[in-house]
């Protein structure tokens, strides 16, 4: 027996074909597509066909119908994994001999298929559907959850599945033999809406929707069952409960009413319009009342327009890019401008969505009039510009810091600080403020910052380190930033007060100088004049004693010398700090200022090539030190000047080999009025050095010699190449 086996599952196809061929009773050709199967049927004669329902191009029922239409009654067996009862009924009505379900091709299933093929091969085809077919169909229909019944032309039930029996509250034996309209609907006569006659006349299935008194809805489909001659001999009726669907439809209807109510009562303008190919705007399909009111058109007028008719012509050039954006995303929000019927411009915010409606592409635009917003935005921009102009032009630096101490905002004034901080705001945003504070001031600032976070408002004065490493004094005032009662940062302002600090220091020095000069004028000169008057009185009293007169005249001469030195000091002290500091060669100063006043002491100069940044009166310091050795050195023979380098700093040592200075006098000698003569020399020296941050102290050993150490900090000394 020659069999054609059609199945798109090639693994199953070849396995099943081999099993059938191995019996020795069948010659099996295989085909995995309908096209190949039709070619084989055209070229060969077969005794039977086994086919899967779902195959490429033409399905199994399509092949069967083509064969039967051509008058070919070849036995046709559906052997399929597709279990739908509608498909099974359609297959049987199309003339299938058997409809079997695949079940892994077990040995029992193989035996059933082999027996069917033997029966068909022996020509045993009954005039009615064979028992295995009826059994298989019943098994399929009985497993369905939908009530299904098989009746004759007289509406008498011949068979019903379990769902039908349960649905209508009857036992199986109480259903068969009774009329369907009696069991299903409690009637004595056929239902008025019964369409059996239509099925008989057309030979096609028909469907009807039935409303039940209890509120249920049923969709009934009647399938014709035909005999071998194609005559309708009965019906399979399937009942589908569509109550949930009807409720859903009713809910949709109610939602649609709500939607329409919302659309029409919305304050925003709403447009529904068609979409043309390429995403272009088509005809307006619907609008709400708000659109009619704002734009001045009636609904009827809108429905004769396309969506672009209300666009402002001045912005048409932007439409193509906008269409592209909307087309890419399907949803887009943008600002646009519409024109009313009267020609007035209306700035709008448009939210547009693309979707399918009844199979056609449409767009729904929700359009909000933003005229008031635009007015507010313009006013806000003006205020922001005014604020920006203010912030960018004031000298104070405005700042904000988060709870971790990182800058979140800095005004441009940070780059315009006197002397130049050297930073732009972008360089500091995200950086911790403490990293830019002078190290000695950091503990204080950290404490103050913690206090700000606790809600304490106060001011601070500290030093800021510039990008170049310089120090700038600033005055800061800040307060906590609160959101919902919680502190989320600190904001405030700081002002560069370096110049004020310097002015204050200069003022203090000036006052100090004035006080010193004043005290000298009042006290020292007055004392000398008092002493002179005393000697003058003595001279008058002892005018005849020449020895005494000589002594008195010598004392008077000394007083005059003291007065001259006091006046000279006051003149020099007045000039202290008047001129700008300058770079001065130490070796040259030693040669020019010390050697001429060495008084016979040798001067050993070991400083070469170094310059110091100091007040222009620096030479006076070295001449004073030389004078100190000459006057107080005792048996001193010479003075040595040398320089020691300590990293970026240096120390200049001026040492003699005289009597030295007692330990208890090492600091006192720098005080005003201490020492022989006027006592101003070392005091003046320290004042000169202090002007530029230099310092002096005495470090010699008593009995060995005096040694004055001048400390020069980093930045105030440099080595001059080739000097």
Question: DSSP H helical segments within 232-288, as ranges?
Answer: 243-265
- What token pair was written down for 311? 């666009």
pLDDT of residue 545: 65
pLDDT of residue 137: 62
pLDDT of residue 264: 86
- What token pair was written down for 638? 């010479």
Question: DSSP H helical segments within 267-340, as ranges?
Answer: 289-295, 299-302, 319-329
Q: Is 190 exposed, middle or buried (0-12, 13-18, 19+ CB in 10 A)?
A: middle
Residues in the chain predicted with pLDDT less than 50, given as ranges, are 124-133, 521, 523, 723
Locate tokens 């011949």: which residue? 158
pLDDT of residue 507: 63
SS3 404: coil
- What token pair was written down for 567? 């006046």
CB of 674 closer than 8 Å to CB of 668: yes
Task: Choose among 262, 272, 259, 276: nearest CA to 299.
Answer: 272
- pLDDT digit string, tens, across residues 225-269: 887 677 888 888 888 889 988 888 888 888 888 888 888 888 899
Task: Choose among 679, 630, 695: nearest CA to 658.
Answer: 630
pLDDT of residue 652: 96
Question: How far out from the chain centre does Cα 465 lie?
Answer: 32
Degrees to nearest 5, angle at CA 95 with 89 and 96: 70
Phi, psi values for residue 107, rounded to 5°: -60, -35
- Indicate the pTM of the whole model: 0.36
Burial code of 295-331, b = ≥16 C-beta within 10 A, e = fewer? bebeeeebeeeebeebbeeeeeeeeeebbeebeeeee
- Contacts of residue 1, defined as CB under 8 A and 6 or more positions apart, other chains included, come to 25, 26, 27, 47, 48, 117, 121
pLDDT of residue 528: 63
pLDDT of residue 258: 86
pLDDT of residue 543: 59
CB of 623 closer than 8 Å to CB of 597: yes
Question: How far out from the chain centre does Cα 277 lie?
Answer: 37
Residues in the chain: 723
- What token pair was written down for 481? 């930033």
Q: For 720, which DSSP code?
A: -
CB of 274 closer than 8 Å to CB of 285: yes
């Amino acid at each position: 027996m020659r069999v054609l086996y059609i199945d798109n599952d090639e693994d199953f196809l070849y396995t099943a074909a081999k099993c059938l061929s191995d019996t020795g009773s069948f010659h099996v050709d295989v085909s995995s597509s309908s096209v190949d199967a039709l070619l084989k049927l055209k070229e060969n004669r077969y005794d039977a066909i086994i086919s899967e329902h779902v195959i490429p191009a033409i399905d199994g029922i399509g092949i069967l119908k083509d064969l039967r239409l051509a008058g070919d009654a070849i036995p046709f067996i559906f052997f399929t994994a597709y279990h739908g009862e509608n498909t099974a009924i359609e297959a049987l009505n199309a003339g299938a001999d058997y409809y079997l379900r695949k079940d892994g091709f077990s040995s029992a299933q193989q035996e059933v298929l082999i027996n069917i093929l033997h029966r068909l091969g022996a020509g045993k085809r009954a005039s009615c559907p064979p028992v295995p077919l009826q059994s298989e169909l019943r098994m399929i229909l009985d497993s369905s959850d939908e009530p299904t019944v098989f009746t004759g032309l007289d509406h008498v039930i011949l068979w019903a599945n379990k769902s039908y029996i349960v649905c209508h509250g009857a036992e199986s034996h109480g259903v068969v033999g009774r009329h369907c309209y009696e069991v299903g609907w409690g009637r004595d006569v056929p239902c008025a809406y019964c369409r059996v006659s239509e099925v008989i006349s057309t030979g096609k299935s028909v469907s009807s929707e039935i409303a039940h008194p209890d509120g249920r809805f049923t969709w009934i489909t009647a399938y014709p069952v035909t005999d071998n001659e194609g005559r309708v001999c009965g019906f399979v009726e399937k009942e589908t409960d569509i109550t949930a669907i009807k409720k859903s439809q009713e809910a949709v209807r109610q939602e649609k009413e709500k939607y329409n109510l919302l659309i029409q009562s919305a304050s925003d303008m709403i447009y529904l319009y068609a979409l043309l190919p390429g995403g272009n705007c088509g005809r307006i399909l619907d609008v709400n009342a708000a659109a009619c009111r704002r734009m001045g058109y009636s609904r009827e007028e809108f429905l004769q327009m396309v969506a672009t008719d209300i666009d402002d012509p001045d912005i048409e050039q932007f439409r193509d890019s906008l269409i592209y954006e909307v087309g890419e995303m399907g949803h887009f929000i943008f600002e646009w401008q519409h024109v009313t019927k009267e020609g007035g411009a209306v700035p709008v915010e448009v939210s547009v969505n693309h979707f399918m409606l009844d199979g056609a592409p449409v767009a729904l635009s929700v359009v909000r009039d933003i005229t008031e917003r635009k007015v507010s935005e313009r006013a806000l921009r003006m205020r922001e510009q005014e604020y920006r102009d203010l912030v960018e032009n004031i000298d104070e630096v405005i700042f904000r810091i988060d709870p971790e101490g990182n800058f979140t905002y800095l005004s441009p004034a940070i780059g315009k600080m006197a002397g130049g901080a050297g930073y732009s705001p972008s360089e500091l945003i995200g950086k911790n403020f403490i990293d830019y504070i002078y190290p000695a001031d950091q503990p204080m600032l950290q404490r103050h910052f913690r206090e700000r976070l606790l809600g304490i408002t106060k001011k601070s004065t500290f030093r800021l380190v510039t990008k170049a490493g310089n120090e700038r004094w600033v005055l800061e005032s800040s307060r906590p930033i609160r959101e919902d009662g919680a502190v989320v940062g600190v904001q405030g302002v700081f002002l560069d007060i370096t110049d004020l600090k310097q002015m204050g220091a200069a003022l203090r020095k000036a006052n100090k100088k004035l006080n010193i000069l004043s005290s000298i004028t009042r006290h020292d000169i007055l004392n000398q004049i008092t002493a002179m008057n005393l000697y003058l009185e003595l001279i008058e009293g002892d005018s005849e004693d020449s020895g005494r007169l000589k002594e008195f005249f010598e004392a008077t001469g000394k007083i005059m010398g003291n007065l001259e030195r006091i006046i000279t000091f006051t003149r020099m002290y007045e000039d202290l700090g008047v001129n700008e500091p300058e770079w001065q060669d130490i070796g040259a100063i030693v040669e020019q200022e010390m050697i001429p006043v060495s008084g016979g002491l040798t001067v050993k100069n070991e400083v070469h090539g170094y310059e110091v940044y100091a007040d222009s009166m620096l030479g006076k310091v070295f001449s004073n030190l030389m004078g100190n050795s000459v006057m107080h050195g005792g048996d001193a023979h010479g003075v040595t000047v040398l320089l020691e380098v300590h990293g970026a700093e240096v120390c200049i040592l001026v040492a003699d080999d005289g009597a030295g200075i007692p330990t208890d006098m090492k600091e006192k000698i720098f005080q005003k009025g201490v020492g022989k003569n006027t006592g101003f020399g070392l005091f003046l020296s320290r004042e000169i050095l202090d002007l530029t941050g230099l310092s002096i102290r005495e470090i010699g050993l008593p009995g060995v010699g005096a040694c004055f150490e001048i400390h020069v900090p980093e930045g105030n000394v440099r080595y001059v190449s080739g000097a």
